[in-house]
Chain A
Amino acid sequence: MRTAFVETLTALAERDERLWLLTADLGYSVLEQFAARLPGRYVNVGVAEQNLIGLAAGLARCGKVPFVYSIANFPTLRCLEQIRNDVCYHQGNVKVVAVGGGLAYGAQGYSHHGLEDLGVMRMLPGMTVVAPGDPVETRLATEALVGHAGPCYLRLGKANEPVLHATPPPFALGKAITVRQGFDVTVVSTGGMLQEALTAADRLHAEGLGVRVLSMHTLKPLDEAAVLCAARETGALVTAEEHSVTGGLGSAVADVLAQAGAPMPAFRKYGIPDRLHHHIGSQAYLRRVLAGDLAEAIRLVCPRRRLNCRAA
């Protein structure tokens, strides 16, 4: 995803002089193409995330559109107050980009587990929060963020994520993509969980379950209509995110369902439990030990499965 991002940004920046790229000394072997082609609009500020965001806010006040790049929690939690006060309060046109959101840096330890960023960014007034599901969505999201005036957070995976969209889908911020149609249960997925959601959907299809898969690439503003439509048409929802189950996609969807005044669907949040953990390992390992099996979580909410259980 990071390559898709920087290629897209570089191409856009060659046509749009407002676009800058700032990094806090991370992105080695990734950002060089932008730096080489557009050195006048590239800055490595050093290992200084608070200054990174403040600089970007200053640049934005002068009409620039700075993308600021770092990994995991460094461009969000380390400098949260700069994002809140200097960017959001001024409606600054600053795009904060985190590579390695979730558990992509799982073996690097707790400091590199990005499990609260979506929730924290989602709480900031005026912030648009985007977590694309694959490299195709990453390209489309990067273009969309340039076209959107105002603070944005782009949470990316790392490298070598599979392409899940054979052709580019229609893409708009705040509009979920129906990646798989189905009427028994819906998985609302954000970010790199999309691959796992599709894999689970395939497995359950073999068991006779029609699983709808929504790529909820925009957490804020959330596509409430897609959530309510899925609740009405499938009667069961699972949210899937590589993030704490507190504050992120699951909480956002639960808010929508609880306030809709419509019959509540069967509902389950799949993600990282909100408790301190000490697990270290690969992304796949950590997903398994912390979040469990997504297909099983889907079975647990599926009304047809429950009917079958009762019949048996």
Chain B
Amino acid sequence: MSQAEHDRNLAQRIRAHVVRMVHRAKASHVGTCFSMADLLAVLYGGVLRVDPARPDWEDRDRLVVSKGHGAAAVYAALAEVGFFPVSWLDTYCADGTRLAGHVTHHGVPGVEFSSGSLGHGLSLACGVALAGKRDGRPYRAFALLSDGECDEGSTWEAALFAPHHGLDNLVAVVDYNKIQSFGTVAAVLDLEPLAAKWRAFGWAVRELDGHDHRQIRDALAGVPFEPGRPGVLIAHTVKGKGVGFMEDKLEWHYRSPDAAQLAQALAELGCGA
């Protein structure tokens, strides 16, 4: 199987898990999970230097998933690459589960930090990167951000910090799906020109199609993007990507698919129920 096929298959399996989990739990956030699925597939499909058998390995790369509402996709990716059994996914959001609706680390191998309140993750990743830098360790820190959380002032506190301290072992990935809670990013609180903002803050910027595995893999193979600077990958994505009736639809930030919608979604994903 080619790398591209491998990435595509992993992304589709993540999406299939997500839609089943969200259906079973009558949960939400399927749209955001789909927009980041390809990014996660490439990250866990070989970019991140992690070892599911040693989740606390000292020199592992650390991924901070700051957009905690994408939890279902994160758990699906971790289960697919072997951090814990796929059967755990059946417990998503259930009473007594470890797998909360927002990314939770406690008892979940592979999750570095819990999140769920937006705007926390880039600072955490800066701390990890700073420790690695000053200790001369080889690991990298990655932070996966939503576009909505670029509204948070704390995100920009961290954005100022990282270039000042030369954290070129840090990569922020912005899942820029252009939709936030109440509507389009452009309508709620416009981020444009987003690349220029990061560039002005001192980051090395890459922009690409966040559903094109080869582009993502090529970009993330070249960390640091520029020596001495943190990198930001602005991934242009589509909310709900992969299932036609969910794509670019605000409502799939909230809705839970019913049985018929689940079947249709799985069929579109090439993963029959």
Q: Which residues of A contact B (CB under 8 A)?
A: 40-41, 43, 45-46, 48, 50-51, 53-64, 81-82, 85-86, 89-90
**In whole angstroms, what is the CA distance A226 to B226 when docked?**
60
CB distance from A46 to the nearest CB of B (A): 7
Of chain A, the residue at the smallest CB distance from B62 is A61
**In whole angstroms, what is the CA distance A53 to B115 when docked?**
14
Interface residues as binary, B155-172 with A (CB distance below 8 Å gives 1, 0 otherwise): 001101100110000000
Give the segment of B120-128, B185-193, B210-218 that binds chain A: B120-128
Contact check, A51 vs B161: say whether CB atoms are below 8 A apart: yes
Of chain B, the residue at the smallest CB distance from A82 is B120
**In whole angstroms, what is the CA distance A56 to B130 when docked?**
10
A46-B160, A62-B131 known; A53-B114 Cβ under 8 A: no
CB distance from B185 to the nearest CB of A (A): 22
CB distance from B192 to the nearest CB of A (A): 24
**In whole angstroms, what is the CA distance A198 to B131 when docked?**
45
Residues of B contacting A41 in the complex (Cβ-Cβ under 8 angstroms): 134
Residues of B contacting A55 in the complex (Cβ-Cβ under 8 angstroms): 123-124, 126-127, 130, 158, 161
Residues of A contacting B116 in the complex (Cβ-Cβ under 8 angstroms): 85
**In whole angstroms, what is the CA distance A55 to B153 when docked?**
15
A40-B134, A54-B124 known; A85-B114 Cβ under 8 A: yes
Residues of B contacting A43 in the complex (Cβ-Cβ under 8 angstroms): 130, 165
Residues of B contacting A45 in the complex (Cβ-Cβ under 8 angstroms): 161
Contact check, A62 vs B127: say whether CB atoms are below 8 A apart: yes
A-B contacts, 5 of them at CB < 8 A, read A46-B164, A54-B124, A63-B131, A81-B120, A85-B116
Q: Answer yes or no: B105 CB below 8 A from chain A CBs.
A: yes
A59-B127, A61-B127, A86-B124 known; A54-B158 Cβ under 8 A: yes
Contact check, A50 vs B112: say whether CB atoms are below 8 A apart: no
Residues of A contacting B128 in the complex (Cβ-Cβ under 8 angstroms): 58-59, 61-62
Partner of A89, one of B114, B157, B158: B114
Contact check, A58 vs B160: say whether CB atoms are below 8 A apart: no
Contact check, A58 vs B126: say whether CB atoms are below 8 A apart: yes
Known: A51-B160, A55-B127. 14 other contacts (CB 8 A): A40-B134, A50-B153, A51-B157, A54-B120, A56-B127, A57-B113, A57-B123, A58-B130, A58-B141, A82-B120, A85-B114, A85-B117, A86-B120, A86-B124
CB distance from A86 to the nearest CB of B (A): 6
CB distance from B172 to the nearest CB of A (A): 13
Partner of B123, one of A40, A54, A60: A54
**In whole angstroms, what is the CA distance A48 to B153 when docked?**
10
A45-B161, A48-B161 known; A53-B123 Cβ under 8 A: yes
Residues of A contacting B106 in the complex (Cβ-Cβ under 8 angstroms): 89
Closest CB pairs A-B (n = 4): A58-B127, A54-B123, A62-B131, A51-B157
Residues of A contacting B153 in the complex (Cβ-Cβ under 8 angstroms): 50
Partner of B127, one of A46, A48, A54: A54
**In whole angstroms, what is the CA distance A154 to B161 when docked?**
25
**In whole angstroms, what is the CA distance A45 to B158 when docked?**
9
CB distance from A14 to the nearest CB of B (A): 16
Contact check, A82 vs B123: say whether CB atoms are below 8 A apart: yes
Residues of B contacting A62 in the complex (Cβ-Cβ under 8 angstroms): 127-128, 131-132, 135
Residues of B contacting A57 in the complex (Cβ-Cβ under 8 angstroms): 113, 123-124, 127
CB distance from B13 to the nearest CB of A (A): 29
CB distance from A17 to the nearest CB of B (A): 10
**In whole angstroms, what is the CA distance A63 to B164 when docked?**
23
A58-B128, A58-B131 known; A90-B120 Cβ under 8 A: no
Of chain B, the residue at the smallest CB distance from A56 is B127
Q: Answer yes or no: B154 CB below 8 A from chain A CBs.
A: yes
Contact check, B114 vs A90: say whether CB atoms are below 8 A apart: yes
CB distance from A23 to the nearest CB of B (A): 13
Contact check, A54 vs B114: say whether CB atoms are below 8 A apart: no
Of chain B, the residue at the smallest CB distance from A40 is B134
Contact check, A85 vs B120: say whether CB atoms are below 8 A apart: yes
**In whole angstroms, what is the CA distance A63 to B134 when docked?**
13
Greatest chain B CB density within 10 A among A40, A41, A60, A82 is at A82
CB distance from B54 to the nearest CB of A (A): 16
Contact check, A90 vs B113: say whether CB atoms are below 8 A apart: yes
CB distance from B93 to the nearest CB of A (A): 18
Of chain B, the residue at the smallest CB distance from A39 is B134
Contact check, A61 vs B123: say whether CB atoms are below 8 A apart: no
CB distance from B173 to the nearest CB of A (A): 17
